[in-house]
Amino acid sequence: MTRHRTQVAIIGSGPAGLLLGQLLAKFGIDAIILDRVDKDYILGRVRAGVLEGGTVATLEKAGVADRLHREGLPHDGFAIAFDNRLERVDIEKYAGKKVMVYGQTEVTRDLMAAREAAGALTVYDAADAQPRDYDTDRPFVSFTKDGVEHRIDCDFIAGCDGFHGPSRKSVPDGAIAEYERVYPFGWLGILADVPPVSDELIYANHPEGFALCSMRSKTRSRYYVQCALDDKIEDWSDARFWEHLKRRLPEESLATLTEGPSFEKSIAPLRSFVAEPMRFGRLFLVGDAAHIVPPTGAKGLNLAVSDVHYLYSGLQEHYGEGSDAGLDAYSAKALARVWKSVRFSWWMTTMLHRFPDTEAFGQRIQEAELDYLFSSEAAMTTIAENYVGLPF
């Protein structure tokens, strides 16, 4: 067995693990990052791209926001379509902030480049990574690379390894509580090199189901339609997708909709999930390892970043000031913000999607709620301040 030593072992090289590693490196704290897959696989994953102000500020602190500011698209509002209407939420007016549209893959790419430039160690294709002895003062992570067994001795372990990763699964039964809501539909999403239908996101409520018009750039669009969980990709031709999308948008949006061939198509299930607590001895769960939200509220990546913020602050206090107050408060602080974002994402999902029991009455209730939203200054303030992100 080959042995290594670091201060913080990070399992998972998605944006949460990479961002934590980058912040720690800037403060002089050594970290090794492990991932079970290779770099190209990670960069091939397509994820959301609406960044809250707190996320942008944290990326700035990590020194990886230059390209984001050059290529990202600042948004000061978004639209909701319903009952053949298109209404705008002015988030800057009601919350005093903007969001930034910049793909998660690009955030990951920027973080990878910064880590490589710093010469910090990331181990890809690390099989069977397992956090061990984290309930003692001598935790370590074991893994296999190219048939050789390795062990990383460390002070702390950060589980940034996603919903299916080993970190949460390593917690003993009875030590963790899990809360879950699985939604009875999915999102069929496509990427196409066509200009977006609008320069802001459009969320659509329609009797046939939800739709979302988003973008990755001024020439690349990301579109979604609600679909059945048992739908198959091969059953959704591009022609069928565009037809469903057009039926769910108001007439005024159709004049600016450009159709084109998709180059990526996938179906994603939706769920709300929270695991409590998020700390077990010297193991800390971060991001999707601890919580999942439906993408309706654009909170998944942003929640991971706020987790990183709290954990980094605690580690900074531990190594810089000899205080464990921040680490001791990590789980409670993170979960307080998580549950508020889970609530907002659930609310957006229930307001905009057609459920099996929605029927005509439920559809009219949704439309009445949306009508109220756009007639109330208080309601507009509430949706705006949640959309731009609650303070870290």
Q: What is the CATH number of the domain that holds 8?
A: 3.50.50.60
Looking at the fold, whether 38 and 143 belong to one and the same domain comes out as yes
Angle at 100 between CA 94 and CA 102, to 5 degrees: 155
How far, in whole angstroms, is CA 332 from its chain's centroid?
A: 20
Question: In this predicted structure, what is the pLDDT of residue 342?
Answer: 97
pLDDT of residue 142: 98
Angle at 2 between CA 163 and CA 162, to 5 degrees: 5
pLDDT given at position 44: 75
Is 250 catalytic? The answer is: no
pLDDT of residue 100 exceeding 80, the answer is yes
With a cut of 90, say whether residue 73 has pLDDT above it.
yes
Tell whether the model's pLDDT for residue 350 goes beyond 80.
Answer: yes
Q: What is the CATH number of the domain that holds 243?
A: 3.30.9.10
Q: Check residue 202 and give its pLDDT.
A: 98
pLDDT band at 309 (very low <50, low <70, confident <90, very high): very high
Does residue 41 belong to any structural domain of this protein? yes
Asked if residue 47 has pLDDT above 70, the reply is no
Answer yes or no: is pLDDT of 1 > 90.
Answer: no
- Statement to judge: residues 207 and 65 lie in one domain: no
Q: Are residues 247 and 292 in the same domain?
A: no
The yes-or-no verdict on residue 123 having pLDDT over 90 is: yes
Prediction pTM value? 0.95
Lowest mean pLDDT among 29-43, 165-179, 198-212: 29-43
Q: What average pLDDT does the chain have?
A: 96
299 is an active site residue: yes
Q: Are residues 50 and 194 in the same domain?
A: no
pLDDT tens, residue by residue, 127-139: 999 999 999 999 9
Residues 302 and 276 in one domain: yes
Q: Which residue has the higher pLDDT, 41 or 336?
A: 336
Residue 97 inside a domain? The answer is: no
The predicted structure's pLDDT at residue 46: 63
Question: Is residue 94 in some structural domain?
Answer: no
- Residues 291 and 259 both lie in one domain: no
- pLDDT above 90 for 195: yes
Q: With respect to residue 83, please indicate whether it lies within any of the assigned structural domains.
A: no
Residue 41, pLDDT score: 78
- Among 129, 152, 185, 165, CA closest to 353: 185
- Distance between CA atoms of residues 276 and 288, nearest Å: 13
Catalytic entry in 203, 224, 310, 312 = 203
Kindly tell me if the per-residue pLDDT of 45 is higher than 90. no
- Give me the number of domains the chain comprises: 2
Q: Is the same domain home to 310 and 338?
A: yes
- pLDDT tier at 48, thresholds 50, 70, 90: low
Residue 50 scores a pLDDT above 90: yes
Q: Which of 150, 299, 309, 333 is catalytic?
A: 299
From the candidates 75, 206, 309, 333, give the one annotated as an active-site residue. 75
* Mean pLDDT (whole number) for 52-66: 97
How much is the average pLDDT of 69-77? 96
The amino acid occupying position 126 is A
Are 290 and 336 found together in one domain? yes
Report residue 263 as tokens.
């180059």
Q: How confident is the model at residue 261 (pLDDT cuts 50, 70, 90)?
A: very high
pLDDT confidence of residue 333: 98
Edge-to-edge strands, sheet with 156-159: 122-123, 31-34, 8-11, 156-159, 283-285, 279-280
What's the whole-number mean pLDDT along residues 172-194? 96
pLDDT at 37: 87
Domain shared by 343 and 358, yes or no: no
Residue 386 pLDDT more than 70? yes
> Which whole number is the average pLDDT over 265-270?
94
Catalytic residue among 224, 310, 330, 387: 387
Among the options 224, 295, 310, 330, which is catalytic? 295
Q: Which domain range does residue 215 map to?
A: 184-270+354-388
pLDDT score, position 235: 95
Tell me, yes or no, if 224 is annotated catalytic: no
Dist CA 335 CA 275 (whole Å): 9
Is the domain of 35 the same as that of 164? yes
